[in-house]
Structure 1
Amino acid sequence: MKQLIALLMAGMATVAMASETTHPSQPAVEHYSYGSKLDIAKVIHLSTIPKVCEVVPAQMTYEDHQGQRHTVEYQVMGDGCSTH
């Protein structure tokens, strides 16, 4: 039984390592707050703002001047407010 558990654990570790090499992990999401200093050299992706009339979370993935990728989450007003 111990050999079976050890074999399963080794298999799961191998799959996890293979997954990381074929699909690089996304950067951890940092939460923006007023006054945060961002070193943005290049914007990689901006999330779509939903068509609602309320404050919603949005994300931006960017590269800093050292080439490191970051994802920052911030609050924006939805894109569904009417000015009629």
Structure 2
Amino acid sequence: MKASLLVLALCGFSAVAMAEESGAKVAAQQARAEQYTYGSHPDIAKVVSVSDIPNICAVVPMRMTYLDSQGKQHVMAYQVMGNGCSNG
């Protein structure tokens, strides 16, 4: 009985540790975002993902994850106008 409780406790601890590690990787990736500046020429071979543009009428931050020509993953931060503006 004690052995099964010990195994159960270790399994629970390892699941929490793995979740914390995954969260740390996401946070590190977000912190490493390269800020796009006008005139820069990023080496974009393949776009992996782009954040959704919110439906508001304001300048909003965006993130694009892409692979360069060497296969290395990058995250670029930039700004766009939201989709919530009307022309009338």
- Corresponding letter in the other structure for 2:58: E
Match of 2:62 among 47, 58, 62: 58
Identify the residue that residue 70 of structure 1 maps to in structure 2: 74
- Note the alpha carbon deviations across 1:20-78, whole angstroms, 9 max, x for none: 7xx68637101001011110000000000111111111010000000000000001000
Partner of 2:37: 33
Corresponding residue pairs, total = 67
User: After the TM superposition, which of the residue ranges 68-77 and 24-33 deviates more from structure 2?
Assistant: 24-33
Letter in 1 for 2:48: I
Give the superposed CA RMSD. Answer: 2.3
Q: Does 1:42 align with 2:46?
A: yes
Q: 5+ unaligned residues in a row in structure 2: which ranges?
A: 1-16
Structure 1 gap ranges (5+):
1-14
**Poorly superposed stretches of 4+, deviation over 4 Å:** none
The two structures have a TM-score, normalised by structure 2, of: 0.66
- What CA distance in whole angstroms lies between the structure 2 residues aligned with 1:36 and 1:52? 27
Aligned equivalents of 2:39, 2:55: Cα separation in 1: 27
Larger helix fraction of residues:
2
